[in-house]
Amino acid sequence: MPTCIHNTTVITCRDDAPVVLDDHSIVFDGPAITHVGPSSEIETALRNVPNVERIDGRNHLVMPGMVNTHHHLYQTLTRGLACVQDAELFDWLTALYTRWRHIDHHAVKLAAQVSIAELLLSGCTTTSDHFYIFPQGTDARIESVLEAADALGMRIHACRGSMSVGESGGGLPPDDCVQEEGDILRDCERAIDTWHDADPLAMRRIDLAPCSPFSISPELLRETATFARERGVLLHTHAAETKDEEVYCLEKFGMRPIPYLQACGWLGSDVYLAHCVHLDDADLAALVETQTGVAHCPCSNMRLGSGTPRVVEMLRRGGKVGLGVDGSSSNDGGNMLGEARQALLLQRVEGGASAMAVADAFRIATVGGARVLNRDRLGKVATGFAADLVMYARDTIELAGAIAQDPLGALMLCNVGRPDRVIVNGRTVVQNARLVNVDERKLAADLNQLVAERFR
C-alpha cells in the first residue's frame, strides 16, 4: 500500500548540494520512494490511487535517514567506565579488553539493541558495526549483532572483524581474546554465505574487517582482501587513528599505517577506513586517488585526544568521507545528528569559522556515508531511493527561532531533540518520538542490570 507524507518541508541533496523544498510531498511503496515533488503535483498523481496511507507533514521537516559508517555496537557495556575516562587509545584498549573478554551472545545482543535504539532516536537509519572481538569459549558471533538490528528495524553493514595477534605475539589484546587465522577465514565465509545480501536496498550486508592493520598478520590482511574481492563485499578497518599507532607500525612493519595498508592491497573504492587522523600529504593523496572511504569520528577523536583529521581537504579534493559515531566506549553516546554538529565545530577549531560549511556537515552525514558504504540508493529523498526518512517537528523549543531562519542550519547547528517519526525501508520504527518495536525503559533497565553484574 502506498504511503504519502504530504505538505511537508524536505531537506535533501540534489547534485551534491543540499536543498530545502517547501510544500513538497513524498510517496513510498514498500522499501522505495516512488515520487517526490510539489504537493499539488503529488495530489494530482494520487487522485485515482486507492488505499493511500497519509501522514500529515505540515508541521515537520523531512530529511533522509543518516548513514553511520563506524560503530562498535556492543560497547554500551563499558561506556562511561571510570578507569578509562581520561585514557588515550592504547591504554584505553588495554584496560577494556579485561572487560570485553567476558562478552557473550546475550550481552552483545542486548548492548547492540541499546546502541541501535540510540542511533534510530537520533535520525540514523543505516549503521556499520565493527565487531571484532570473539573471546575463546564465547558464544558471541556476528548473529548477535544481526539479531539486534532485526529486532529494532535498523539497516546494517555487519563487519565480521578479526584479531589474531595477542599479547604473546606483540599485540594489545590478551591471547584469549584472539582467534586462529584459519578459524577467522572460515567464519568470514560462513557469515557471507548465510547473511550477505547484495540487493541495492538490502537490510543487511556483511563486510570483512580486521580490527586494525597490526592486530592480524600481514598474510591474513592480504588473504582477507583477496577473499572479500572474490565475494564482492567491502573491507573495513581502523587506520592512522593515533601517533602511537604510527610508531607501532613503523617499528613492526617499517611503514606508516596507510603505506602499509596500500602494500597489502587495502586501498580502493571497496575499502573504508575509520579515523585517518594522522595523514601526511602522500597518505591523503593515496586515499583520494584510490577513492578509499574515510569514516570520520569527531566525538571519539576528541574524547581520546587523538587529533583532528584533514576532513575539509579530503572533501575539497574529491575524497569519500562519511560520518561515524564510533563505539559507545569512546563516544559514550550515539547521536548521529549531534555527531554532524561536532564534525562541523571540530574543523572550525583549527580552520576558522568558514572551514566547514553547514552543507558539508549535512552531506557527510547522508550521501557521504552512503558513498563510503557503496550504497548508491541511500542518503537522499529522491525517486528510487530507499524509503529511509526522518521527520522532525518544527515547533519544538530546540528549533525555535532557528527554524524560521534556515531549516537546514537549524538541524545542523541546534541541539535537536528526538525525531517525531523514523521510517526504515518503508516501515515506521520510531513514532511520537518513541521506539515502536521495543520497550525502551525495559531495554535500558536490562542493560543497566547486566553491566552492574558483569562489566563494572
Tell me the mean pLDDT in the region 68-92. 95
Domain ranges of the chain: 3-64+386-435, 66-372
Q: Which residue has the cell 607501532?
A: 248
Grid coordinates given for 154: 535498523
144, 105 contact by CB (below 8 A): yes
**Helix count (H) and strand count (E) of the chain?**
17, 17
Tell how far CA 228 is from the center of its chain.
20
Tell me the mean pLDDT in the region 382-405. 97
75, 328 contact by CB (below 8 A): yes
Digit-coded pLDDT (tens) for 123-138: 999 999 999 999 999 9
- 217 residue type, one letter: S
pLDDT band at 214 (very low <50, low <70, confident <90, very high): confident
* Greatest pairwise CA separation for the chain in angstroms: 71
pTM to 2 decimal places = 0.97
Q: What is the predicted pLDDT for the residue at 175?
A: 95
Q: What is the predicted pLDDT for the residue at 235?
A: 98
| Rounded-to-integer distance, Cα 42 and Cα 223, Å | 51
Query: Looking at the domain that runs over 66-372, which CATH code has it been given?
Result: 3.20.20.140
**In CATH terms, are 3-64+386-435 and 66-372 the same topology?**
no
User: The domain 3-64+386-435 belongs to what CATH superfamily?
Assistant: Urease, subunit C, domain 1 (2.30.40.10)
pLDDT band at 350 (very low <50, low <70, confident <90, very high): confident
Q: Is a pLDDT exceeding 90 seen at residue 456? A: no
Count the Cβ atoms, other than its own, within 10 Å of residue 49: 12
Mean pLDDT computed over every residue of the chain: 96
